[in-house]
Amino acid sequence: MPLNGPNFTEVLKGTTTIGIVCKDGVVMATERRATAGSFIANKATIKLFKIDNNVGLTIAGLVGDAQSLARYLRASVSLYRLRRGSPISIEGASTLLANILNNNRYMPYYAWFILGGVDPEGGHLYSIDPLGGNIEDKYVSVGSGSTLAYGVLEENYEEGLALTDGVDIALRSLHVAMRRDSASGDGYLVSTITEKEFKEFTDDEIKKRLGKLKIA
């Protein structure tokens, strides 16, 4: 569905971010390159954020807009937990972010998000566009490398996927995108979210997995 208003495709052309719903949780992953046109501006960019113990967020678009909204969402979700004494639902968190974006549609944030996590109803994943469009799916990729990543996701995703298999598929998807998309590269960020924990994979853990997958 085309976006009305500003040509977001011209701005949101860097990055590959991925989210996958699995049987026992959610996988979220990104690469680490930040670009300014054809220039590689940074090789260690954080594009995956822990919002709460049960909620994660990936970002694509203008770094300032995306980081600002990630901080705002984290504060709002923490305040919700403090007031209610329980974590926010994933649908609630996605609706909150979508409403913020929609309320600024005439002076939009140039950022596109994947929000995912686990609540009492299970694992959930939402793609949230710059104007506040909020769509739930079982797997999502956003950014310039997404068309390449979707080739791997479409071929390998199935209902009831184990979390460990989801991590491998996310890494394979990023690897393919990074090989052909010049705006994606310079390493991997991976997190899994379950009922028990928000796990952020270390560089060594990712390296070992890449070795087992025979990905250079």
Say whether pLDDT at 8 is over 70. Answer: no
Say whether pLDDT at 13 is over 60. Answer: no
Between CA 146 and CA 60 the distance in angstroms is 11
Every domain of the chain and the residues it spans:
14-212
Q: Kindly report, residue by residue over 174-196, the tens digit of the pLDDT.
A: 999 999 999 999 999 999 999 99
Residue 3: pLDDT band (50, 70, 90) is very low
Between CA 90 and CA 73 the distance in angstroms is 12
Say whether pLDDT at 207 is over 70. Answer: yes
**pLDDT of res. 7:** 53
Residue 52: pLDDT band (50, 70, 90) is very high
Which of the following is catalytic: 9, 15, 95, 164?
Answer: 15
Cβ-based neighbour number of residue 31 at 10 Å: 29
User: In percent, how much of the chain has pLDDT > 90?
Assistant: 84
User: In percent, how much of the chain has pLDDT > 70?
Assistant: 94
**pLDDT of res. 5:** 45
CATH among 3.40.50.720, 3.40.50.1100, 3.40.50.1370, 3.60.20.10 for 14-212 = 3.60.20.10
Q: Kindly report, residue by residue over 79-97, the tens digit of the pLDDT.
A: 999 999 999 999 999 999 9
Ramachandran angles phi, psi of 37, nearest 5°: 70, -125
- Record the tokens describing residue 96, joined without a space: 């909150």
Residue 77: pLDDT band (50, 70, 90) is very high
Say whether pLDDT at 161 is over 70. Answer: yes
Whether 80 and 119 have beta carbons less than 8 Å apart is answered as no
Sort strands 188-193 and 122-128 into parallel, antiparallel or unpaired: unpaired
Whether 6 and 141 have beta carbons less than 8 Å apart is answered as no
Q: What is the DSSP letter of 88?
A: P
Place of tokens 């609630």: 92
Closest to 173 in 3D by CA, of 142, 204, 203: 142
Told to judge if 45 belongs to the known catalytic residues of this protein, a careful annotator would answer: no
**pLDDT of res. 14:** 74
Question: 13-22, 45-54, 77-86: which range is least confident on average?
Answer: 13-22
Residue 111: pLDDT band (50, 70, 90) is very high
**pLDDT of res. 189:** 97
Residue 2: pLDDT band (50, 70, 90) is very low
**pLDDT of res. 1:** 33
Cα separations in angstroms, 215 against 50, 175, 200: 26, 8, 20
